[in-house]
Amino acid sequence: MKKTIAVLGAGNFGTVCAKFLAENGHDVKIWNWEGDQEPLREIGEYHENKTYLPGIALPENIIPKCSLEDALRGADIVCYAVASTVLKNVFLHSVPFLEKDTIIVSLTKGMDKESVDIFPHIFAAAVDSDMAHRIITISGPAIAGQLAQKNVTVMAIAGKDPAAVSIVKEVCDNAYLQLIPTDDIIGVELGGAFKNVYAIALGMCDGLGLGLNSKSALLAMAINEMAMVSVAMGGKPETLSGVAGLGDVIGTALSPESRNRRFGECLGKGMNTQKACEAVQQTVEGIESTAIFLALAKKHGIATPIATLVQRAVDGEQITKENMFTLFTV
């Protein structure tokens, strides 16, 4: 059934989501914050987001909206694809304009720094119980450029309301995109939020000249660390072994283009955090994610040696092969 969908966030991932939703036959409205309206102008004039997704033609049934209220009017589904640093603020501003039966979908990977909690919990506290029950999260290995090129992509979709999950899955699924349903919102959220911590660690292995033997062992331990924290919060350990955990870490940590992996590689080569950030020339989300993850682990009394080692490197300690080897010592 044809739906009206609002996508909040006209970055590369928000735009590619608007693209596949429109190609699936739905009416799509896209909004971006007031300080960055150029992507909306480009989408409206050229049917292309030259700023964040250049070279990709967009369907004409993607309608840019400068007003948040206009974007949300009549929307059956609202997808939040803004940066994690502003997601809470955007959501709270959007609440008065949400339709009564709207399904809320979070596409943003990260956690609320202030409360050290996942965003669906933040959302649920701001709306009535019926709408809170319909909150959905989608996460997994999905590089925007590859999804835009219709490379086969598989992600997890999580929610407490099976009917809402089914509706969103039907809206999104097509010949190159498939969503795997689960009710484990916590596990799916944590996998997306903390994959960058371990991408930095695996990048450090690259910088230190460690091979696949070391990286494979580190990856297995990383999934275990995330799973322990997830279980402590009420999540399921098996979720982190699926596309939302293991799959997302692999997609980020093994990609040569990954900013977090490259940052870790620079740390492994002896650069400090400032120099490594300058070399990457992009925001390294894993720096903040590591601090949040350690705070969460401490709250639940869980030892996380890999994340702790990453924090030591971020804080300026020169990490050696011997430091990495101690992670495997039992």
CATH of the domain at 201: 1.10.1040.10
Residue 39 shares a structural domain with residue 178: yes
Residue 37: CATH number of its domain: 3.40.50.720
pLDDT of residue 1: 84
Distance CA 34, CA 15 (A): 16
Residue 155 shares a structural domain with residue 111: yes
Q: Annotated catalytic residue: which of 88, 109, 195, 215?
A: 195
pLDDT under 70 in the chain at which residues?
Answer: 330
Residue 117 shares a structural domain with residue 212: no
Residue 24 shares a structural domain with residue 110: yes
Answer for the pair 189, 139: CB distance below 8 angstroms, yes or no. Answer: yes
Residue 93 shares a structural domain with residue 169: yes
Last residue of a domain, which of 152, 183, 214? 183
Distance CA 119, CA 111 (A): 6
Residue 9 shares a structural domain with residue 63: yes
Q: Is 209 exposed, middle or buried (0-12, 13-18, 19+ CB in 10 A)?
A: exposed
Number of domains in the chain: 2
Residue 62 shares a structural domain with residue 32: yes
Residue 146 shares a structural domain with residue 197: no
Answer for the pair 8, 14: CB distance below 8 angstroms, yes or no. Answer: yes
Last residue of a domain, which of 159, 183, 207? 183
Of 239, 241, 240, 288, which is closest to residue 260 (Cα–Cα)? 288
Residue 106 shares a structural domain with residue 207: no
Residue 319 shares a structural domain with residue 251: yes
Of 322, 283, 327, 291, which is closest to residue 306 (Cα–Cα)? 327
CA–chain centroid gap for 252, Å, is 11
Give the side-chain half-sphere CA count within 13 A for 143.
17
Residue 53 shares a structural domain with residue 153: yes
Reported residue count of the chain is 330
Give the side-chain half-sphere CA count within 13 A for 134.
20
pLDDT of residue 330: 61
Q: Is 100 a catalytic residue?
A: no
pLDDT tens per residue across span 273-282 = 999 999 998 7
Answer for the pair 260, 286: CB distance below 8 angstroms, yes or no. Answer: yes
pLDDT of residue 181: 98
pLDDT of residue 168: 98
pLDDT tens per residue across span 256-269 = 878 899 999 999 99
Of 43, 38, 50, which is closest to residue 28 (Cα–Cα)? 43
Which amino acid does the sequence have at 280? V
Segments forming the whole domain that contains residue 21: 4-183
Residue 209 shares a structural domain with residue 160: no
DSSP SS3 for 309? helix
* pTM assigned to the model: 0.91
Q: What does each C-alpha distance from 327 to 186, 301, 323 come to in angstroms?
A: 26, 18, 7
Last residue of a domain, which of 139, 159, 183? 183
Token pair, residue 4, equals: 């009206």
Answer for the pair 292, 116: CB distance below 8 angstroms, yes or no. Answer: yes
